[in-house]
Amino acid sequence: MMISARNITKRYTLKGTPAVFDASFAAPPEGITTLLGPSGSGKTTLLRVVAGLESVDQGQVLFDHRDVTRLPARQRGIGFVFQSFALFNHMSVRRNIGYSLEVRGVSKADRRRRTDELLALVQLEGYGDGYPLQLSGGQRQRVGFARALASKPEILLLDEPFGSLDTQVRLELREWLTQLHQTTRLTTLMVTHDQEEALELSQQIVVMDGGRVVQVGTPSQIYDQPKTPFVAWFVGTGNVLRGTVEGAKITVGSLSVAVPSGVPDGSEVQAIVRPHHFRLEKNGAAPGRSVGTITRLVGLGGNVKLQLKLPSNQSVTVQLSRREAESMRLEVGDSVTVDLAEAKVFVANYSI
């Protein structure tokens, strides 16, 4: 089932900026779409609007071609998973999972059969008679998923489902969700502030900032063709270099970045450089062309992250493979020359 949001505006207060402003996107059937953005960007509000937990001031929500904008949450036929798990702690795990069936008047025997299926699906066989508070965080959230799936909804909505879990468990559950999605093929809409999670899990990403949808695209579109400096910076940590175009390039300190043709001389532009787009060369190779000094160098497993101080006093983050760094024998204090052939350049008037 396709989820479409059309020009959604939601205000919590009469005055002041709206939490969501004129937001539109469509989540394709059977795919995982993520709403990605920093806190306060309106992503959770937009998800709650789709769920029917929040009313809208303007705009429409459609499930396929059906307008559900005025339909209460309990009639939308969705499964919702909360960051806080939101389990009913006074009910057994089994009753939690079967709650949507209990509400619909499904017989006890059928409920038992279905909850057994779901306990198996979320790998919690044997935990049915326990209570939520006896489970670990990861197990609780799997109960949350099972409960949301019990009545066979056609849409699954996830509000930072891994947000209150430890890194280790989070990575496990992320893997588990991919498998779950492959078996259920449910149209899934997930909120996250974690760009890695979004890039890894989703077929489509909706990037939000300040209550607006900034870009909608596949993970590679978002990463490789960011529409604004904000998207480039938020997804994939881009370094921002500002400069004035002169002869189809900008110069930052002694560093030159080529600008796409068509940008007139004299325009203010911002160049976005991914940490791994820097090509470094140790200074010895070309004396007198030094463009930066290494101020910090940290090993991160197979990669090395370093801070480079440019003559303009701006610091940029650079990432190299460990092998590359070791073969050049890079150390803190070294001067290096930089090649920026892969930098993305944005024309001015975009703001960060």
Partner 1 sequence: MTMTESWPVRFLLIGLTLGFLGLFVVLPMLSVFVEAFARGLGPYLAKLMQPDALSAIQLTLLVASIAVPLNVVFGVSAAWLICKYRFWGKSVLVTLIDLPFSVSPVVSGLIYVLMFGRRSVLGTWLEQHDIHIIFTTPGIVLATIFVTFPFVAREVIPLMQDQGNDEEEAALTLGASGWRVLFQVTLPKIKWGLLYGITLCTARTMGEFGAVSVVSGHIRGRTTTMPLEVEILYNEYDTVGAFALASLLMFLALATLIAKKIIEVSQHRT
For residues 97 and 222, which CB has a smaller minimum distance to partner 1 in the complex?
97
Contacts of 177 (CB under 8 A, 6+ apart): 161, 201
DSSP 204: E
What number of residues does the chain have? 352
**Binding of partner 1 by 84 (CB under 8 A):** yes
For residues 82 and 233, which CB has a smaller minimum distance to partner 1 in the complex?
82
User: Residue 144 Cβ, how far from partner 1 at the closest point, in Å?
Assistant: 8
**What are the structure tokens assigned to 349, written together?**
């008037």
**CA of residue 59 relative to chain centroid, distance:** 24
User: Residue 78 Cβ, how far from partner 1 at the closest point, in Å?
Assistant: 6
Candidate residues 33, 100, 141, 188; the one interacting with partner 1 per rule CB under 8 A: 100
User: Residue 297 Cβ, how far from partner 1 at the closest point, in Å?
Assistant: 44
Look at residues 157, 214, 202 and name the one whose alpha carbon lies nearest to residue 42: 214
**CA of residue 42 relative to chain centroid, distance:** 13
- Which residues are 212's β-sheet partners? 209
**Binding of partner 1 by 90 (CB under 8 A):** yes
For residues 76 and 193, which CB has a smaller minimum distance to partner 1 in the complex?
76
Considering only the stretches 31-39, 148-156, 161-169, 294-302, report the one whose residues sit in contact with partner 1 under the rule CB under 8 A.
148-156
**Binding of partner 1 by 86 (CB under 8 A):** yes
DSSP 328-345: HT--TT-EEEEE-TT-EE
User: Residue 113 Cβ, how far from partner 1 at the closest point, in Å?
Assistant: 18
User: Residue 63 Cβ, how far from partner 1 at the closest point, in Å?
Assistant: 14
Look at residues 143, 146, 173 and name the one whose alpha carbon lies nearest to residue 160: 173
**Binding of partner 1 by 139 (CB under 8 A):** no
**Binding of partner 1 by 315 (CB under 8 A):** no
In the region spanning residues 35 to 54, those forming contacts with partner 1, defined by CB under 8 A, are: 51-53
Tell me if residue 310 falls in helix, strand or coil.
coil
Q: How wide is the angle at C-alpha 195 spanned by C-alphas 189 and 201, nearest 5°?
A: 45
**Binding of partner 1 by 73 (CB under 8 A):** yes
User: Residue 148 Cβ, how far from partner 1 at the closest point, in Å?
Assistant: 8
Are 16 and 37 in contact by the 8 Å Cβ rule? The answer is no
Candidate residues 66, 88, 123, 321; the one interacting with partner 1 per rule CB under 8 A: 88
Residue 188: its H or E element: strand 187-192
Binding site for partner 1 (CB under 8 A): 12, 51-53, 72-76, 78-80, 82, 84, 86-88, 90, 99-100, 103-104, 147-148, 150-151, 157
